Amino acid sequence: MNNHALKTRREFLRTGLLGGSLSWTLPAFLSRTMQTLHAQADGALIQGVTGRDGNILVVLQLAGGNDGLNTVIPMGNDEYRKARPTLGLTDSSILRIDPQTGLHPSLSGLASAYHDGNLAIVQGVGYPNPNRSHFRSTEIWATGVDSDKSSTSGWIGRYFDNACSGCDASVGIAMASQLPQSFAATTPKGVLYQGGGVAKKKSSKKKGTIARDADTSMMAMDDEEEVGEAGGSIGMLNGPGNLGHLSALDFLERTEMDAKLSQQEISNASSKAKNTVPFPGSRLAQNFAMVSRLIAGGMPTRIYYLSLGGFDTHTQQTDAHSRLLKEMGDAVSAFLADLKAQGNLGRVTLMTFSEFGRRVKENASGGTDHGAAAPLFLAGGGVKAGLLGQMPSLSPNDLFDGDVKYNTDFRSVYATVLEKHLGVKSEPILKKPFPLIRAYG
């Protein structure tokens, strides 16, 4: 199969698949299902949901359980100071955004987004009967079902099933090494992009030589970034555990096909555009830079998914948490600036989430244990800046097992983003109605 011939799945399916000229190399799985796919491809052309001007949701997962209480901080609060004698931040260092509330000092990027009118802070986000297991709680956020239920599909996957049934796999792109469970769908969609150090590569790649600049490489020796093959690599998300009737071999055959199809599409889009503002060198910021280029390059992707790990701060939290928040805040701030310069800021909403917040009372190891509700951020041109929901009470009588109680169901946030930003009905996706929050004008 010639890659250059395969511009998009739709085009490929329309022109190649039933034509017969290529079918002799098609994996068995595809030849069994091409009729269905072909029908879906036509449907997508009619629905046209993936137009280049459609709105885009960028999801940023803060993996490990971000300490919400030291991210969005109640100011002048005695309970906070009592619960956090060593970890508590002093009022003078906090970036004040209203009389009672401030942001962690490392979040200056987000504070300016707030003042520019591009950041909404939703407080006290969680769900009933909170689970404190990383995996289970991540699963609850990913599937969007009640904490005593389970689902084989993710909320983003159900969005794909409902609103983008015939789209290319690249309607969702995850810049992550872990497959987001939220992408799991009846018809799996989503492409994995593992770019590696994009900016670094540019500076150190010399054609025809193997040795990279010794000094910069040595400095970066412990850097987590791995040097990927040129141009990064693309991966199809698999809808974990949701294979249905497919055998692993069927799945492999389909994935092989998707690899060939998506590779060119992404490299085309990313090479078309340049970042207009400098991005920090962190992996997260470089991933945001890539997303920004893909948006500028006209990818029809509706959902981008990024993640930053390391928030499970059981011990010696202060420096680690501060570093993580800085990495996040600076990356997001560059991303918003780049989108603004492109003129795409209004089309994009960035939503952060973490599987849970952390225990109100700090532990004896200079850290915090798994908690429950926490704040999350919504950023973008369409977002109505402000503080939404309520800062949960820290008074010991109001806590449940030492954790703050939620006042905004995370699915209200999902429903709002789906309805107000992506323009689809939320009930078929979230399986029941949730009150919307006032995050959009």
Among 67, 258, 355, 409, binds another protein (CB under 8 A): 258
Q: How far is the CB of 64 from another protein (least distance, A)?
A: 9
Does residue 259 belong to the site contacting another protein (CB under 8 A)? yes
| 11-19, 211-219, 284-292, 332-340 -> range binding another protein (CB under 8 A) | 211-219
Distance CA 245, CA 130 (A): 33
Stretch 215-254: interaction string toward another protein, x if CB under 8 A: x-xx-xxx---xxxxx--xxxxxx-x--x---xxxxxxx-
Q: How far is the CB of 218 from another protein (least distance, A)?
A: 5
Could you say which residues in the range 384-403 bind another protein, by CB under 8 A?
Answer: 401
Among 4, 149, 214, 397, binds another protein (CB under 8 A): 214
Distance CA 382, CA 399 (A): 34
Q: How far is the CB of 247 from another protein (least distance, A)?
A: 5
Q: Are 380 and 350 in contact (CB under 8 A)?
A: yes
Could you say which residues in the range 124-163 bind another protein, by CB under 8 A?
Answer: 132-136
Does residue 319 belong to the site contacting another protein (CB under 8 A)? no
Q: What are the strands of the beta sheet with 101-103, ordered from one edge?
A: 72-74, 101-103, 95-98
Among 44, 107, 113, 192, binds another protein (CB under 8 A): 192
Q: How far is the CB of 96 from another protein (least distance, A)?
A: 30
Does residue 22 belong to the site contacting another protein (CB under 8 A)? no
Among 256, 319, 398, 427, binds another protein (CB under 8 A): 256
Q: How far is the CB of 253 from another protein (least distance, A)?
A: 5
Stretch 266-305: interaction string toward another protein, x if CB under 8 A: ----------------------------------------
Q: How far is the CB of 297 from another protein (least distance, A)?
A: 19
25 versus 92: smaller Cβ distance to another protein: 25
Q: How far is the CB of 141 from another protein (least distance, A)?
A: 15
Q: How far is the CB of 330 from another protein (least distance, A)?
A: 20
Residue by residue, what is the 3-state secondary structure of the chain? CCHHHCCCHHHHHHHHHCCCCCHHHCCHHHHHHHHHHHHHHHHHHHHCCCCCCCCEEEEEEECCCCCHHHCEEECCCHHHHHHCCCCCCCCCCCEEEECCEEECCCCHHHHHHHHCCCEEEEEEEECCCCCCCHHHHHHHHHHCCCCCCCCCCCHHHHHHHHHCCCCCHHHEEEECCCCCHHHCCCCCCCEEEECCCHHHHHHHCCCCCCCCCHHHHHHCCCCCCCCCCCCCEEEECCCCCCCCCCCHHHHHHHHHHHHHHHHHHHHHHHHHCCCCCCCCCCHHHHHHHHHHHHHHCCCCCCEEEEEECCCCCCCCHHHHHHHHHHHHHHHHHHHHHHHHHHCCHHHEEEEEECCCCECCCCCCCCCCCECCCEEEEEEECCECCEEECCCCCCCHHHCECCECCCCEEHHHHHHHHHHHHCCCCCHHHHCCCCCCCCCEC
Q: Could you tell me the two tokens for 171?
A: 């309607």
Q: How far is the CB of 257 from another protein (least distance, A)?
A: 9
343 versus 402: smaller Cβ distance to another protein: 402
Size of the site for another protein (CB under 8 A): 61
Could you say which residues in the range 324-383 bind another protein, by CB under 8 A?
Answer: 363-365, 369-370
Q: How far is the CB of 115 from another protein (least distance, A)?
A: 32
Place of tokens 């209200």: 412
Among 36, 100, 177, 276, binds another protein (CB under 8 A): 177
Among 262, 287, 349, 426, binds another protein (CB under 8 A): 262
Place of tokens 């009372």: 361
Residue numbers at the binding site for another protein (CB under 8 A): 24-28, 132-136, 177-179, 191-194, 210-212, 214-215, 217-218, 220-222, 226-230, 233-238, 240, 243, 247-253, 255-256, 258-259, 262-263, 314-315, 363-365, 369-370, 401
